[in-house]
Amino acid sequence: MDKKQKKILEMNKDAWEKVAETFAGGLYLPAWGVFQELRDVNLLGDIKGKTFLEIGYGSGHSAQYLLNNGAKKVYGIDISEEQRKLATKLNSEYIKEGKVTFNVSPMEDRITLPEKVDIVFSVYAIGWTTSPEITFKNIKSYLKPGGRFIWSWEHPFYSRVETENNKLVMDKSYVKECAKLVFKWSGSDGAYIQHRKISTWINELVKAGFEIENMYEPSPEVFAEEHMDKKRYYSKFRASYIPSSIVFDCRLK
């Protein structure tokens, strides 16, 4: 990992430490996106008795969902210590039972797990990676042979447009990658996300040894009152024209 990547990780970690409470209870299973996309599709299949690893566990709600539905064991990786505290509080009883373990680490750093897992999953976290190549290689090492990797992220085209005078206007390049998006969250110096094309994600998955069994660009399913405002980033207007989420269902060869 080069100095630039390390700097980005440090800034992102600092940002998430400051906003963890703000985003608590945001995106989590069984939904895979902001508008509750694919919540009734059951991409994970039979949960009972299986072992899981979540990349970016946030406030721990997805882990709680899995354990409430019979998962044998859930592991988690998240860059934020504040997220770990929230997830630990929510899942305190399951932690006492030894059913869940939350690790604090960038996804780019490989951690040691006591066992291989059946499924690695992530809800809107993989896109934060500074290196898909390294992250996917790590994920491959956590999985059992034939294990599944299911993850969602904001659709790469969604951020390329803005709403102007009741029209969608493309104001950023889709083809130009690594254009950093800076979020000036309160109390932090900002957080960086690198824009990547769909083809880049696909190629990196294949290179890492995954077979893509399905790719979804789901239609929105649930709109809250705030989504009716056309000026909002996550609005019903924008999401009705452009998928807000993209979901990859992959299997290790």
What is the reported pLDDT for 174? 94
Confidence of residue 193 (pLDDT cuts 50, 70, 90): confident
- Using the structure block, give the residue that is written with the tokens 């566990």: 57
For 149, residues 6+ apart whose C-beta sits below 8 A from its C-beta are 119, 120, 121, 139, 143, 210, 248, 250, 251, 252
How many structural domains are present in the chain?
A: 1
At position 9, the amino acid (one-letter code) is L
**Structure-token pair, residue 158:** 């969604």
Give the range of the structural domain holding residue 128, as residue numbers without chain letter: 3-252
Distance CA 179, CA 173 (A): 9
Averaged pLDDT, 55-83: 98
pTM of the model: 0.95
pLDDT at 181 over 70: no
Task: Determine the Cα–Cα distance for residues 54 and 62; give it in Å rounded to an integer.
Answer: 8
Query: Mean pLDDT across the stretch 187-199?
Result: 87
Evaluate whether 146 touches 251 at the Cβ level (below 8 Å): yes
pLDDT at residue number 237: 95
**pLDDT tens track for 97-109:** 999 999 999 999 9
Specify the CATH number for the domain of residue 175: 3.40.50.150
Three-state SS letters, 137-182: HHHHHHEEEEEEEEEEEECCCHHHEEEECCEEEECCCCCCCCCEEE
